[in-house]
Amino acid sequence: MSPTRMSRIEAGPRAVLAFVEAFNRHDVAGMMHLMSADCVVEHWEPAPNGAVYTGKEAVTQFWQDFFRAAPRAHLKAEEVFGFGIRCVLRWRYEWVAAEGNPRHVRGVSLFKVKEGAIHQKLSYVKR
């Protein structure tokens, strides 16, 4: 396989891993730099169907609010795989609850990468 073609195949996992790194720094600007102008983020809350945020402005506001509410949020990538424009991230999300106890949930996010940028992030959680 040619290096150019391999680079396109690896684009999804690379973008997702960079996104996780920016998430763990709480670097909203860095996260948004990785996302397309017409990005879509589907969060797992509120149950049962979650909320959908569309476009950089709405997604930026979502992440700012998210980190304000969870200042010790951390995402551990347990597995990342993909091919071409599709990528799957299996993760463990950790935070500290209001009463001071560490908490976590596990889940999966499905990504779609368009022209090197994350276009879609759909997240699902185990409870």
Amino acid 83: pLDDT: 81
H/E run at residue 20: helix 3-25
Residue count of the chain, please give it. 127
Q: Which pTM was predicted? A: 0.91
Locate 126 and state its tokens.
Answer: 């185990």
- Assigned CATH for 3-126: 3.10.450.50
Amino acid 5: pLDDT: 53
Q: How confident is the model at residue 104 (pLDDT cuts 50, 70, 90)?
A: very high
**Nearest-angstrom CA–CA distance, 85 and 118:** 9
Which residue ranges make up each domain of the chain?
Answer: 3-126
Q: How confident is the model at residue 71 (pLDDT cuts 50, 70, 90)?
A: very high
No. of H helices and E strands in the chain? 3, 6
Sign of the CA dihedral running 96, 15, 123, 119: positive
